[in-house]
Amino acid sequence: MSDLKILVVNNYGQFCHLIHRAVRDLDEESGIIANTLSNEEILAMEPDGLIISGGPSIDRIGRAEEMVQELDLPILGICLGHQLIARACGGEIATGHKGGYAAVQVEIIDEDEILKGLGPSTSVWASHADEVTGLPPDFVQLARSDVCEIEAMRHKTRPLFGVQWHPEVSHTEKGDELLLNFFRVCDEY
């Protein structure tokens, strides 16, 4: 990878700082930014990509939906960030049937560029208190589990990706590989 700058959008989630640290541990520059910043303020920082963190509530996402809709940058949404991308692009989200954090076995349907190398299935750490229940137009499903049908997705033409699970935690197998795949997307964009 080259010297990338990846900004982590803070949605007040407990793992925001872990995402920031995971990016730095993989030798890329990282910063945490408020979800209330304008797109102009974000672009002035010259990021190569954004990671939209999880958080406690879709009601506390600030301007994050506008970031997804308007910025021409690679964006990875994690947990609430995944749901936020879906909603911003016309998908549906709802309360999940199984809340709380737990290990989940995820089936990879399409490795694509973001899940490349994760294999036909992988064990991840996820919360399903809320989840994507309807794929947005122009998105494809990348992974599913017996807990949630849309565990991962991507836009067909834009570099927008979402995963229900947390690649930044040690409980997730191959979480670093997923982040490195996202960095490759950012480097090539």
pLDDT tens per residue across span 54-112: 888 888 899 999 999 999 999 999 999 999 999 999 999 988 877 678 889 999 999 89
DSSP state of 11: -
If residue 78 lies in a helix (H) or strand (E), which one and from where to where? strand 75-78
CB atoms within 10 A of CB 128: 21
* Contact of 120 with 95, CB cutoff 8 Å: no
Q: Active site residue: 148, 166, 173, 177, which one?
A: 166
Catalytic residue at 82? no
Residue 49, pLDDT above cutoff 60: yes
CATH number for the domain harbouring residue 91: 3.40.50.880
- Give the pLDDT score at 129: 81
In the prediction, which pLDDT does 14 show? 84
Q: CA of 80: how far to CAs of 76, 100, 114, in Å?
A: 11, 13, 18
Write down the pLDDT at residue 128.
Answer: 81
- Looking at residue 2, what is its pLDDT? 62
Cα–Cα nearest to 151, from 88, 98, 108: 108
What is the rounded distance in angstroms from the CA atom of residue 18 to the CA atom of residue 135?
A: 28
Can you give the pTM of this predicted structure?
A: 0.96
Q: Is 79 labeled as catalytic in the residue annotation?
A: yes
Choosing from 28, 131, 168, 177, the catalytic residue is 168
State which residues form the domain around 114.
5-188
Q: What is the pLDDT of residue 125?
A: 87
Residue 97: the pLDDT is 76
Q: Residue 139: its pLDDT value, please?
A: 98
pLDDT number for residue 23:
96
CA distance 160 to 67: 11
pLDDT of 26 over the 60 cut: yes
pLDDT, tens digit (0-9, with 9 covering 90-100), for 107-157:
999 989 999 999 899 999 888 888 999 999 999 999 999 989 999 999 999
| Token duo for residue 129 | 């208190």
Predicted local confidence at residue 187, as pLDDT: 96
Choosing from 16, 20, 28, 79, the catalytic residue is 79
Total domains present in the chain = 1
| CA 155/CA 85 separation, integer angstroms | 10
